[in-house]
């Protein structure tokens, strides 16, 4: 877990990288599409691809009153 980010480290780590950044709480069709687009962009540009996700949805911590989650069967 990264609790404190260093901008210089972030820039070096992500330079030349296509990143899918989000709350991937399950790999459904929408998530596969977003991750696939990051991979396609990386391939087209000769870059690396990466997925950055969260263990806890940031909205659960910062905006719990506006958080609405649907179950897969809804």
Total-model pTM: 0.63
Minimum mean pLDDT range among 12-21, 42-51, 60-69: 60-69
Per-residue confidence (pLDDT) for residue 2, from 0 to 100: 46
- According to DSSP, the residues that pair with 48 across neighbouring strands are 17
DSSP state of 57: -
Q: How far apart are CA 67 and CA 58, in angstroms?
A: 10
Per-residue confidence (pLDDT) for residue 21, from 0 to 100: 85
Q: How far apart are CA 38 and CA 20, in angstroms?
A: 6
Q: Tens of pLDDT along 36-61?
A: 999 999 999 999 999 988 877 777 77
Per-residue confidence (pLDDT) for residue 47, from 0 to 100: 92
């Amino acid at each position: 877990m990264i609790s404190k980010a260093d901008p210089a480290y972030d820039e070096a780590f992500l330079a030349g990288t296509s990143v899918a950044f989000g709350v991937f709480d399950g790999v459904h069709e929408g998530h596969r599409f977003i991750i696939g687009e990051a991979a396609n962009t990386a391939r087209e540009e000769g870059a690396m691809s990466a997925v950055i996700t969260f263990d806890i949805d940031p909205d659960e911590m910062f905006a719990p009153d506006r958080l609405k989650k649907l179950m897969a069967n809804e």
